[in-house]
A and B are shown apart, each in its own frame.
Chain A
Amino acid sequence: MIYVVLAFLAISLLLYVLLAGADFGAGIIELFSSKENQAINKKTVYQVMGPVWEANHIWIIILIVILWIAFPHYYNILVLALHIPLTLVLLGITLRGVAFVFRYYDAYKDSSQILYDWMFKTSSLVTPIFLGLTMGGVVSGDIINPSQMENHSFLEVYVHSWFNIFSILTGFFYAALCAFLASVFLIGEVDDTSKSMYMRKASIATIVVVSLGFITLAYGYLSGIAFVVDFISNIWSISAIIVSGILLFPLWKSIKSGRRIISRALAGIQIFFILFAATITHFPKILFTTTGSISIYDQPVPDSVMNVLGISLLVGGVLIIPGLFHLLKSFKLIKLLER
């Protein structure tokens, strides 16, 4: 049953990174756009993401709940060492969520929109950066093991674990990835004039993602971060990254020829390979402390807990996934029959 639970954990992570990522990215694009393009983006985001917006963000709750229940020891270290960035993620999610609703559901469209837009755009950028910082923190190797926290200063335990160059690079990498996802996604949703705007954004985002990815890996390798060193010497990880890079060519080809389903699928597969590359090297060890790595299997919960969770997830999955699919289909977000 643990594999069912792990599968759901992986699916939730992938879907959160993808769907919420595209969502955050839409805000980032708006932040870096001209006034006119901002207005287009605002409208597009409402039409395209409005119906699925809330569902996109529930994956993080599923993710957290699975960690609590099935991997409490692992989760415990995360919430202790990464308290500050997680709190900031939380604030970002809160402000972004309310800004999104306020800007579309306020009874009057007046100057208060300026405030909502500003809140939406900035929190769209800040939240994924801190999410990326958290992910970077998990593997940067600067987390202090809880058993040794007492021997270290506040800064060492609660700040250096995530506020280091590698994590910061990861944070920006993830934010760029979000912008990339959003632009690829939105290209297929607009008319020809706006299309070129999103194409431009997509090309900029692609360049930024590739360069930041390269810089992050190079920095990690040169400064001897165990995770990166192992990553680069692991045949599976490096192949997955190379495949992900190669996929950029067919992706751009399909974007240019206007095949939106294929473009989206390719972008999704690329993210899948990046996550796969990041986890496969060390799995099941995916948390690095100053004294070594910690496995997600450490201090396992009893089978009774794992079984009930696995069954709940399977039942929930059967109930939800068809509904979700129907939702997407009803609003023509998945146009499978169309080229």
Chain B
Amino acid sequence: MENIDAARLQMAFTLIFHIVFACIGMVMPFFMVVSHKKWLNTRNPIYLTLTKSWQKGVAIFFVTGAVSGTALSFELGLLWPEFMKHAGPIIGMPFSLEGAAFFVEAVALGFYLYGWKKIPETFHWFTGIIVGISGVMSGILVVSANGWMNAPSGFDYINGEFLNINPVKALFNPAWFTQALHMTLAAFTATGFAVAGIHAYQVYKKRNVELHKKAFKIAITFAAIAAILQPLSGDLSAKDIAERQPVKLAAMEAHYETKKGAPLYIGGIVNNETQEVKYKLEIPNALSFLAFGDFNAEVKGLNDFPKDEQPNVAMVHYAFQTMVGLGTLLMIAGMLFFVAKYKKKSWFNMPKFWLLFALLAPLGFVALEAGWIVTEVGRQPWIIHNIMKTKDAVTPMPGIVFSLYTYIAVYTILTIAVTWLMARQIKFLNSVKTNEA
């Protein structure tokens, strides 16, 4: 394997892992504080049990997220030294602020985890809110740094040198808002459906039903709202990409020819050699409208870009289709929940209802990972869009493949371990009687 492929795979692997854990660590505190608030209001011991068990989840995911994030901060330098040498000073600001946010989170979490019966009740609850808010802040800041790679700004690039650096402008790069919004909603959707799904399965299996129903309702409310809002944010993102990264848009849609009034392709199998997309569903003029708000706008095709500046079309197209498809499915599921809640209470007594949500549990994360594939693979071959190619950023150290194997082994084991730990938490939760809490 070429060094660059190994480095890219290692980065991808760490990111895929980190994103899941970071999202859960970022979103679960919100579920926890809602349950905690309900306990303070109602003094129903079920909520206390639930809060404490979610708290354990938060602790486990916070740490796995934190260590894998530390790993990433090292890897950025270790694998892409040339990138960090130039980009570090420009996009350092979101990272330094992220460090601050992360610190606040760690301090607040320290208070929260160890504060039971030691600090005043309301203040204790409030530290939980700080955990959630600072977590979301960290997420937004890191995504802003990623946005800069898609929309480099805050410097002048003259004769291969990065001059007139303005870190504030780099932080508020043109992509930061749409990307951060899309990612935050995705985090809530994915985590919400995953947590709700796990509890739905327990209800389906008739274990500790009352507790799991309460847990489900908290998680799914967040998830459903986020899933319903997500298409709006997706639309903003699409318009943004159409303007700044037309080649990424062309790859997402697998459009080879430049066209006015371009159709939207749904599904289909891409053949990069014959430049055809077979078995697709076609909606006339829809892409032009979605990208530019005009049914007859011109959408640039891949053939308008040099061959060596095109990403892997099939991969980006499939990932994009997966993201949109699953996102739509989750949006419908979110609506179903609200229908059940306000109109059809009887659905909550149907095993099928619970089974459905149990089956949906992993899909949010699949969509989220697919979304990152669209962003990251769609940006290739550039590490900094139109400025620096990925192959020029990679470390000259040979043998990265061995580092890759180590990482794959460690992270696979960790994933298995964390899943196993979660299963044990649920098993334990089902064995406690709530009045003992």
Contact = CB atoms under 8 A, between A and B. Distances in A.
A associates with B: yes
A153 to B, nearest CB: 11
Among A66, A107, A315, A330, the one with the most B-chain Cβ atoms within 10 Å of its Cβ is A107
Given A72-B84, A305-B165, A313-B96, A94 B67 contact: yes
A194 to B, nearest CB: 21
Interface string B89-109: 110110111011011101111
B81 A61 contact: no
A232 interface: no
A57 interface: yes
B325 interface: no
A106 B424 contact: yes
Interface in A59-94: 60-62, 64-66, 68-70, 72-73, 75-76, 78-80, 83, 86-87, 89-91, 93-94
A107 B77 contact: no
Contact of A97 (B56, B67, B100, B106): B67
B119 interface: yes
B303 interface: no
Interface in A302-326: 302, 304-305, 308-309, 312-313, 315-316, 319-320, 323-324
B63 A79 contact: no
Interface stretch (A46-54, A202-210, A242-250): A46-54
Contacts of B75: 90
A79 B425 CA distance: 39
Nearest to A73: B85
B428 interface: yes
B109 A54 contact: yes
Given A97-B63, A98-B417, A107 B81 contact: no
Contacts of B428: 107-108
B356 interface: no
B108 to A, nearest CB: 8
Contacts of A80: 81, 395-397
Interface string B181-204: 000000000000000000000000
Contacts of B107: 55, 320, 323-324, 327
Interface in A137-160: 149, 154, 157-158
B86 interface: yes
Contact of B73 (A53, A65, A320): A65
Contacts of B104: 319-320, 323
B229 interface: no
B410 A95 contact: yes
B387 interface: no
Contacts of A95: 410
A32 interface: no
B90 A55 contact: no
A65 B96 contact: yes
Interface stretch (B110-118, B236-244, B268-276, B363-371): B110-118
B66 A75 contact: no
Contacts of A304: 164-167
A107 B168 contact: no
A73 B81 CA distance: 10
Contact of A51 (B85, B113, B164, B417): B113
A319 B424 contact: no
A319 B107 CA distance: 11
Given A69-B95, A94-B71, A304-B165, A105 B89 contact: no
B110 A102 contact: no
Given A97-B66, A319-B100, A72 B86 contact: yes
Given A86-B74, A301-B89, A75 B424 contact: no
B85 A72 contact: yes
Nearest to A89: B74
B336 interface: no
A7 interface: no
A61 B85 contact: no
Chief secondary structure at chain B's binding surface:
helix
- Sorting the interface of chain A by its residue count into under 10, 10 to 19, 20 to 34 or 35 or more gives 35 or more
Give the one of A66, A309, A323 with max B CB within 10 A. A323
Given A58-B99, A86-B74, A101 B88 contact: no
Interface in B389-423: 395-399, 403, 406, 410, 414, 417-418, 421
A288 interface: no
A217 B79 CA distance: 34
Interface in B148-177: 163-168
Given A52-B110, A75-B88, A90-B70, A309 B96 contact: yes
A327 B109 CA distance: 10
A299 B119 CA distance: 50
B131 to A, nearest CB: 11
B337 interface: no
A173 interface: no
A86 to B, nearest CB: 6
A238 to B, nearest CB: 34
Interface string B262-303: 000000000000000000000000000000000000000000
B392 to A, nearest CB: 14
A98 B75 CA distance: 19
Contacts of A66: 96
Contacts of B62: 54
B106 A55 contact: yes
A214 interface: no
A312 B100 contact: yes
B424 A108 contact: yes
Contact of A62 (B99, B164, B168, B414): B99
Contacts of A68: 76-77, 84, 88-89, 92, 95
Interface of A: 50-55, 57-58, 60-62, 64-66, 68-70, 72-73, 75-76, 78-80, 83, 86-87, 89-91, 93-95, 97-98, 100-102, 105-108, 149, 154, 157-158, 301-302, 304-305, 308-309, 312-313, 315-316, 319-320, 323-324, 327, 330-331
Interface of B: 56, 59-60, 62-64, 66-71, 73-78, 81-82, 84-86, 88-90, 92-93, 95-97, 99-100, 102-104, 106-111, 113-115, 118-119, 163-168, 395-399, 403, 406, 410, 414, 417-418, 421, 424-425, 427-429
17 contacts: A61-B69, A65-B96, A69-B88, A69-B95, A79-B81, A79-B84, A80-B81, A86-B74, A90-B70, A90-B74, A94-B414, A98-B67, A98-B418, A304-B165, A313-B96, A323-B107, A331-B110
